[in-house]
Amino acid sequence: MNYTSLSISFRIGLAFHAMNNEGSSGTNVMEPRRISVGGHNYDGISGEMVRRHVLENFVRIAKSKKLPLSLAGEGLHSDRAKDLVKEWIAQNSEIQPIEDKGDGEKDGGGTQEEKKKKAILKMEPRHFAVASRKLLECCAIVDVGGFLAAISKEEKVQRDGKDYGVEGTLKRDSVFDVGWLISETPAIVEFSQHAAYRPDGQHNLFTQNMRAAVYGGVARLDLGRIGYNDWAWLAPDRNDLHLDDEQRRQRAAALLDAWEQWLLSPAGAKQAGWLQHTGQLEGILVLSNFGPAPFRSPIEVELRYDAEGSPLAERIKPNPRYRAELATLAEAKPGRYRALEFDGLPGLARAFDQARAAIGL
């Protein structure tokens, strides 16, 4: 790939929505997510919410392109790699049963037969590189979305018809990061009361919020890490620990498609009857072959105080310079960076097409 990292800095208008809430706090009032800065509440949509729906797009695209997906990966299960790691440990003859001495025990205790029953298969750091290669190969979500598989010895696997405890931890960081969407101005939140009717004639009252704002967002995609085995340094004598170039390109293309789809049609919570009205859309993509792609927030945080030491009224405000700063950087270092600005939906689609061509997808 010609560029190994891509960042997205953007502003998006969302109105009449309830895309992210914190819960009801034991009442019938659904409270929106908020960010408190300088005594003011700003509307927020968490990066986890955005990330979840980008990954949902990725799953659909991966299935359509017949990219490999495990069952837990397709379902975006939080422990999506645990069963894969357990299976790999069970099938790897290099990992031989050892006696489980228990917590704090030195001699294991019990008869020889009891010790055999307590035998465990333990993954150690020297196994990480080969195990990671297997997981990258069998599931694109494990590769792109990352995972943490922490397996305690109470978990069981079978080998040669016998049950063994299994122990080990394996981790992979996600190849993309997402910031919160933060409103440029203090939150505008309206509450309306609704009733949930039941066949017996009773009904429950509940209060739902509805918000409107222009939000600033940032994301960074480390495309060069897709299909790349983070633990390869533990087995430098192996040359087949990473996926091949074509597999990596396919997954990188799917991730760009997933992000483009989300920006063209944002998804979040409570949309069945509260689908957001989308409005303003602008931003900039920055491509980098010099480490992680730089980004700038479309919002600016004020850290100034008045003469009495009290926070100023406006603590968060729009940052009108965010695109110009990144474009100027790309012009100053054309061998390292490329900037692609966009306005509106057609501009976004064109910018992503230009990014795919520049990356070599």
User: For the segment 192-209, what is each residue's pLDDT rounded down to a tens digit?
Assistant: 655 666 677 666 665 677
Residue 106: its pLDDT value, please? 47
Query: Is residue 350 over pLDDT 70?
Result: yes
pTM for the model stands at 0.89
User: For the segment 49-75, what is each residue's pLDDT rounded down to a tens digit?
Assistant: 999 999 999 999 999 999 999 999 999
- C-alpha to C-alpha distance for 46 and 286, rounded to whole angstroms: 23
Tokens 């998006």: give the residue.
12
Query: Is residue 310 over pLDDT 70?
Result: no
Amino acid at the residue 294: P
- C-alpha to C-alpha distance for 22 and 34, rounded to whole angstroms: 9
Query: Is residue 315 over pLDDT 90?
Result: no
Residue 18: its pLDDT value, please? 85
Query: Is residue 22 over pLDDT 60?
Result: yes
Phi/psi of residue 299, nearest 5 degrees? -115, 155
The first and second tokens of residue 336, run together, are 């390292």
The first and second tokens of residue 172, run together, are 């992979």
What angle do helix axes 128-138 and 82-91 make, rounded to 10 degrees? Answer: 120
The first and second tokens of residue 303, run together, are 């850290």
Half-sphere exposure for 129 (CA within 13 Å, toward CB): 13
Amino acid at the residue 266: P
List Cα–Cα distances, 21 to 16, 111, 141, 319, in angstroms. 14, 56, 26, 26
Mean pLDDT of 310-334: 88
User: For the segment 97-149, what is each residue's pLDDT rounded down to a tens digit?
Assistant: 888 766 544 445 555 555 555 789 999 999 999 999 999 999 999 999 999 99
> Any idea how long the chain is?
361
For the chain, how many helices (H) and strands (E)? Answer: 9, 17
Q: Give the burial string for 23-56 (b: 16+ CB within 10 Å, else e).
A: eeeeeeebebbbeebbebebbbbbbebbbbbbbe
Q: What angle do CA 20, 279, 58 make, to 5 degrees?
A: 55
User: For the segment 252-282, what is each residue's pLDDT rounded down to a tens digit?
Assistant: 999 999 999 999 999 998 888 889 999 999 9
State the burial class of residue 230 (Cβ atoms within 10 Å of its Cβ: 0-12, 13-18, 19+): middle
Q: How do the domains of the chain map onto residue ranges?
A: 5-69+176-359, 74-172
Phi/psi of residue 259, nearest 5 degrees? -70, -40
Q: Which residues pair with 343 in a beta bridge?
A: 282
